[in-house]
Structure 1
Amino acid sequence: MINQLSWKVGGQQGEGIESTGEIFSIALNRLGYYLYGYRHFSSRIKGGHTNNKIRVSTTEVRSISDDLDILVAFDQETIDVNYKELHENGVIIADAKFDPKKPEDTQAAMYAVPFTEMATELGTSLMKNMVAIGATSAVLDLDIQVFEEVVQEIFGRKGQQVVDKNMEAIKAGYEYTKEQLGGAETMQLEKADGQKRMFMIGNDAIALGAVAAGCRFMAAYPITPASEIMEYLIKKLPALGGTVIQTEDEIAAVTMTIGANYGGVRAITASAGPGLSLKMEAIGLSGITETPLVIVDTQRGGPSTGLPTKQEQSDLMAMIYGTHGEIPKIVFAPSTVQEAFYDAAEAFNLAEEYQCPVIMLTDLQLSLGKQTVEPLEFDKVEIRRGKLATEALPEIDNKGYFKRYEVTEDGVSPRVIPGMKNGIHHVTGVEHDETGKPSESAANRIAQMDKRMRKISNLKFNTPIHKNAPHEEADLLIVGFNSTRGAIEEAMGRLAKDGLKVNHAHVRLVHPFPADEMMQLVQSAKKVAVIENNATGQLANIMKMNVGSHEKIHKILKYDGNPFLPQEVHTKCKELF
């Protein structure tokens, strides 16, 4: 019996790899297992190698595994690219159609199963993924009836005959592989707890968080890996009286979002690095007009088009310093799908309370990786609208203009919705006085700049750093952000077994940087390792700018398009001693 399984299916993009992993993982999720999935896919619609690696466990997991138990291969390239991940007791299940060849330097067992031929005999070669699921079930000694409910949900609209045929394909793959196995030992998973949990990608959690927060408008341009946020809201917002507009470009998307927020509607836009580059001028417009703006940046491999379907964390500096001029801005980074939900909801509160752009920074692994999620607590979602006037405004003086940009002690001015009586004011992208009228007065410029920058000096953000710091004096402090959290947490356990005292700080509020909290953690450690998916160590450099201790801080970087594995973090950290 095993309490954890690593399973991967691979082939050419467009031949059902994603649906194979989806059906397999949904069924196991419903049995109560914890899952973590990561898709490696090409930046084209069809063709090119793709795979889906899924980790199944009886306990919570937040990272893909180092090795592999089962590899399901629809072509030889899948074997050649992925076989080295298999441990010595691993299994390759390959489609017999391509006459699979097992590499000589692997001890893994291989079984050739005629996925395509069996599916064709049942009616269509498209069902070869179902045959593969059946073959996997045989290796795991898993009752194929666990897939019946999922198959019914996915294919039920096509008629019962289609459902039955797909279940026949699963059964055929199971029976054929059982015969091939003979008396070979199977990989039986320990029984799960049977609890019902959600299974979702980070982008869906973000979109759901936006809905819960009262967001009713989205303007966006499709881009990997952010498009699922728009796709989710396209399905949900109309039923709630909301609207999604697929704009002609990124500039239109962000300016429409600013306009909606100015009109009092909670609105969002989402993109990736190239799109954020186009949005930069408008982000500055949000800053100087003090209009709330929520943006999601799903980081991917850059620069330019770069690696659009691969993991990277290289937008950090751009999100903090990308706009010309100086504006207040809030940038934060969730590290799990659950955090993505709650943080998305909180983004709207922060944007309205501080009347500034709020950028929610995710990465491809977090946005598209699918995770088991404990039931979300919707009663935890608050709606706070800051200084937005909701009642009749008092009469104003004889100048006839509302002081929309009034200089206040906390830097936040009163805000009104257009059309409110006694609320008339100017809105312009040039420097302005308290009523919004353009002004180039030196004294006014200083007063308005100081007012705007005061806003976030006392920002209140729940859990700016996720801390797991059991040691008052640590040998090593490991720091990361976004999706590296799971790999770091696993590496911590292994380093502890090596005899090292290790603390972990995962940065959630990137800007304004929580310098005081981080300084305490850095000062109590002999060495600091910053784990990030970029080539220059952007988070490490931000830490040096804010907390010093240059001699302690070591960069552990990965920028080949792949996420960190727990073993990589463990090995690189151990090399520091």
Structure 2
Amino acid sequence: MREQLSWKVGGQQGEGIESTGEIFASALNRQGYFLYGYRHFSSRIKGGHTNNKIRVSTKPLNSISDDLNILVAFDQETIDVNIHELRQDGIIIADAKFNPVVTEGFNARLFAVPFTEIATELGTSLMKNMVAVGASSAILGLDPESYKDVVEDLFLKKGASVVEKNMEAIHAGAAFFRNEAGNDLPDLKLAPADGKKRMFMIGNDAIGLGAIAAGSRFMAAYPITPASEIMEYMIEKLPEFGGTVIQTEDEIAACTMAIGANYAGVRAFTASAGPGLSLMAEAIGLSGMTEQPLVIVDTQRGGPSTGLPTKQEQSDLMAMIYSTHGDIPKVVITPSTVEEAFYDTVEAFNLSEEYQCPVILVTDLALSLGKQTVEPLDFNRVEVRRGALRLESEIPERIDGAYYKRYEVTETGVSNRVIPGMKNGIHHVTGVEHDETGKPSESPENRVAQMDKRMRKLANLPKTFKDPLYVHAEHEQADLLVVGVNSTRGTIEEAIPRLEADGVKVNHAQIRLLHPFPTDELMTEIAKANKVVVVENNATAQLANIIKMNVGNVKIENVLKYDGNPFLPGELHEKCKTLVETSKELV
């Protein structure tokens, strides 16, 4: 029996490929298997090749697999595009409707199963995906009845007869495949799972849940891939907690609405991708100048311009730190797992209010839309810290009609904050430079005092931020220190044991606080390695350059990928191994 395997379903976008993968994976999740899913899809509503790759294991995993055991094909293009991933013992299950053939130059076992024909005989061709799920269950040695809870969740609202028909389709697919394969059934049965209940969720859902847990009750956003699921999650869930979501006309409006809501005392945020972040740049500066809390989620995707809207990239790193004109304090947090995305979202709201500045929570497409097994979240870890937000009873009486010193110069750089309408709390709010009461001022002395005040807010944040780096360092002196950000963590973690088996000593550091940069913490890890390798999904080595800007001109080897696909453990293993071997040859 197999401890793990990889399964992929593919076809034309709009014909149920995503739902096929969702049903297949959800049933396995409920049995206690660990899962990691990644969708490859086109930037169009219907048409174009799409596939959903699901990795299944009896043990935890955090990356996409190098290869493929089972390919379920709804068209010939799926076979042609994906067959190169199949292992030697891998198989293809294809809809007999299109007369499937194995792509020339490849050797794979092909089983033609009449998905469409069986589904049509049962009532509708739309159930062909259920037939495919049934055939897959036969390969894995799973009881088709294990899908019943999932099918009921999806279709019971349409009536018990719909549930029954879909279950018939699953049973029919399993029975046909068993009869077709006979005694030649592939040996791809899964070992039993532990049966424990775990969540199976995408990073965007974790962010939405984190925002609600943090007390956010307002979101303003404009739909954009791969951030839209955050807004969709909030639209469904936030009204249950008395909250509101507004779909705005553009990202500029979304950002300024979020600033306004925070000014009124409501925890609010927005979410977008690279193009939206560009539009928000001026408003982010407004948050910094007016010292209003603001949380922005940036789900990175392929750029520039419209770029590759549905593909993986990590090319917004410089933009998040430096795109805003002028100098303002800003926090950039980079979670690397779905679980971290939940807790870091909560922390983003806390930091935004404590430091009264914009906080950007950054993911990438693989983390935003990749679906992972997540252990039950610990809501006891959730705390709400509102910083220097004063109650009305704490505001001193106005003397001679003087305005409240909302921007009072303080040693920490953080001034007491009040909500509009509070007695004795009246003050100006403006995007131009201002004095302590908010009144516009161009005085050189005032400008320096206010600028210094704002900029010293974050001086100690890297030291107080919990785990600004995720570090796995077993070696006092390693051959390599591999550094990554966001979703590359799981791939790096899987590549390391392979490198260790080759005799390469490897330490790992994943950046979780990108700005202000955890300079001292990373320098400690750099000092324990002979070579530093930075792994990132962009063409200009943005993360490596940010590291050099903060720790000095350390010798870094870049491992870059910007073709729209995430790193695979195998390719990362080979690239790092080659770097080590090349270094030895040069010596």
**Structure 1 CA distance, aligned partners of 2:170 and 2:104?**
30
**Structure 2 CA distance, aligned partners of 1:439 and 1:3?**
68
Deviation, 1:517, is 0.7
1:99 corresponds in structure 2 to 99
Q: Is it true that 1:148 corresponds to 2:148 in the alignment?
A: yes
1:418 corresponds in structure 2 to 420
**Structure 2 CA distance, aligned partners of 1:104 and 1:88?**
15
**Quick one: which amino acid aligns to residue 192 of structure 1?**
A
Is the 2:11–2:73 contact (alpha carbons within 8 Å) kept by the matching residues of 1?
yes
Q: Deviations over 1:510-544 (max 9, x none)?
A: 00000011111112111111000000000000011
1:289 corresponds in structure 2 to 290
Is the 1:115–1:129 contact (alpha carbons within 8 Å) kept by the matching residues of 2?
yes
**Quick one: which amino acid aligns to residue 401 of structure 1?**
Y
1:481 corresponds in structure 2 to 485
Runs of 4+ aligned residues of structure 1 deviating over 6 Å after TM superposition are none
Deviation, 1:394, is 1.3
Q: Deviations over 1:157-198 (max 9, x none)?
A: 111111111111111111111111111243110110000000
Is the 2:392–2:422 contact (alpha carbons within 8 Å) kept by the matching residues of 1?
no
2:276 corresponds in structure 1 to 275
1:221 corresponds in structure 2 to 222
Deviation, 1:480, is 0.2
Deviation, 1:391, is 4.0
Residues 449-460 of structure 1 aligned to structure 2 (within 5 Å): 449-459=451-461, 460=464
1:364 corresponds in structure 2 to 365
1:137 corresponds in structure 2 to 137
Q: Is it true that 1:262 corresponds to 2:263 in the alignment?
A: yes
**Quick one: which amino acid aligns to residue 470 of structure 1?**
E
**Quick one: which amino acid aligns to residue 489 of structure 2?**
R
2:346 corresponds in structure 1 to 345
Q: Deviations over 1:180-235 (max 9, x none)?
A: 11112431101100000000000000000000010000000000000111111111
Deviation, 1:572, is 0.6
Deviation, 1:440, is 0.4
What secondary structure is seen at the aligned counterpart in 1 of 2:280?
helix
* Residue of 433, 436, 461 corresponding to 1:434: 436
Is the 2:482–2:509 contact (alpha carbons within 8 Å) kept by the matching residues of 1?
yes
1:70 corresponds in structure 2 to 70
2:187 corresponds in structure 1 to 186
Q: Is it true that 1:390 corresponds to 2:394 in the alignment?
A: no
Deviation, 1:399, is 4.5
Q: Deviations over 1:119-173 (max 9, x none)?
A: 1111111000000001111111211010011101101011111111111111111
Is the 1:492–1:570 contact (alpha carbons within 8 Å) kept by the matching residues of 2?
yes
Q: Deviations over 1:488-527 (max 9, x none)?
A: 0000110000011100000000000000111111121111
1:212 corresponds in structure 2 to 213
2:33 corresponds in structure 1 to 33
**Structure 1 CA distance, aligned partners of 2:392 and 2:324?**
35
Q: Deviations over 1:317-346 (max 9, x none)?
A: 000001000100000100000000000011
Is the 2:33–2:193 contact (alpha carbons within 8 Å) kept by the matching residues of 1?
yes
Q: Deviations over 1:380-417 (max 9, x none)?
A: 10000000002411113324200000000000001000
What secondary structure is seen at the aligned counterpart in 1 of 2:452?
helix
1:556 corresponds in structure 2 to 559
Q: Deviations over 1:72-100 (max 9, x none)?
A: 00000000000000010001000001100
Is the 2:536–2:559 contact (alpha carbons within 8 Å) kept by the matching residues of 1?
yes
Q: Is it true that 1:566 corresponds to 2:569 in the alignment?
A: yes
**Structure 2 CA distance, aligned partners of 1:442 and 1:549?**
36
Q: Is it true that 1:494 corresponds to 2:498 in the alignment?
A: yes
Is the 2:71–2:92 contact (alpha carbons within 8 Å) kept by the matching residues of 1?
yes
2:584 corresponds in structure 1 to none
Q: Is it true that 1:518 corresponds to 2:519 in the alignment?
A: no
**Structure 1 CA distance, aligned partners of 2:112 and 2:219?**
48
Q: Deviations over 1:292-330 (max 9, x none)?
A: 000000000000000000000000000000100010000
**Structure 2 CA distance, aligned partners of 1:236 and 1:90?**
41
2:116 corresponds in structure 1 to 116
**Quick one: which amino acid aligns to residue 360 of structure 1?**
L
**Structure 2 CA distance, aligned partners of 1:502 and 1:351?**
36
Deviation, 1:379, is 1.2
1:61 corresponds in structure 2 to 61
**Quick one: which amino acid aligns to residue 440 of structure 1?**
E
Is the 2:213–2:346 contact (alpha carbons within 8 Å) kept by the matching residues of 1?
yes
Is the 2:392–2:423 contact (alpha carbons within 8 Å) kept by the matching residues of 1?
no
Q: Deviations over 1:38-87 (max 9, x none)?
A: 00000000000000000000000100100000000000000000000001
2:585 corresponds in structure 1 to none
**Quick one: which amino acid aligns to residue 411 of structure 2?**
E
1:232 corresponds in structure 2 to 233
**Structure 2 CA distance, aligned partners of 1:235 and 1:88?**
44
2:3 corresponds in structure 1 to 3
Is the 1:88–1:108 contact (alpha carbons within 8 Å) kept by the matching residues of 2?
yes
State the number of aligned residues: 576
**Structure 1 CA distance, aligned partners of 2:237 and 2:76?**
41
**Quick one: which amino acid aligns to residue 328 of structure 1?**
P
Is the 1:88–1:106 contact (alpha carbons within 8 Å) kept by the matching residues of 2?
no
Deviation, 1:436, is 0.3
1:472 corresponds in structure 2 to 476
**% identity of equivalent residues:** 73
1:509 corresponds in structure 2 to 513
**Structure 2 CA distance, aligned partners of 1:267 and 1:358?**
12
**Quick one: which amino acid aligns to residue 498 of structure 1?**
D
**Structure 2 CA distance, aligned partners of 1:476 and 1:397?**
64
Deviation, 1:105, is 2.9
**Structure 1 CA distance, aligned partners of 2:233 and 2:579?**
44
Structure 2 stretches lacking a partner, 5+ long? 581-587
**Structure 1 CA distance, aligned partners of 2:74 and 2:123?**
19
Is the 1:202–1:366 contact (alpha carbons within 8 Å) kept by the matching residues of 2?
yes
**Quick one: which amino acid aligns to residue 452 of structure 1?**
R
Q: Deviations over 1:16-51 (max 9, x none)?
A: 000000000000000000000000000000000000
Is the 1:426–1:436 contact (alpha carbons within 8 Å) kept by the matching residues of 2?
yes
**Quick one: which amino acid aligns to residue 9 of structure 2?**
V
What is the root-mean-square deviation in Å for CA atoms of aligned residues? 0.8
**Structure 2 CA distance, aligned partners of 1:548 and 1:325?**
24
**Structure 2 CA distance, aligned partners of 1:29 and 1:421?**
54
**Structure 1 CA distance, aligned partners of 2:570 and 2:318?**
28
Is the 2:118–2:131 contact (alpha carbons within 8 Å) kept by the matching residues of 1?
yes
What secondary structure is seen at the aligned counterpart in 1 of 2:36?
strand
TM-score scaled by structure 1? 0.99
**Structure 2 CA distance, aligned partners of 1:418 and 1:70?**
60
**Structure 2 CA distance, aligned partners of 1:558 and 1:2?**
31
Is the 1:313–1:532 contact (alpha carbons within 8 Å) kept by the matching residues of 2?
yes
2:410 corresponds in structure 1 to 408
Is the 1:141–1:186 contact (alpha carbons within 8 Å) kept by the matching residues of 2?
no
**Structure 1 CA distance, aligned partners of 2:370 and 2:121?**
34
Deviation, 1:257, is 0.3
**Quick one: which amino acid aligns to residue 572 of structure 2?**
V
Is the 1:202–1:340 contact (alpha carbons within 8 Å) kept by the matching residues of 2?
yes
**Structure 2 CA distance, aligned partners of 1:495 and 1:397?**
70
Deviation, 1:549, is 4.1
**Quick one: which amino acid aligns to residue 445 of structure 1?**
R
What secondary structure is seen at the aligned counterpart in 1 of 2:220?
strand
**Structure 1 CA distance, aligned partners of 2:352 and 2:152?**
43
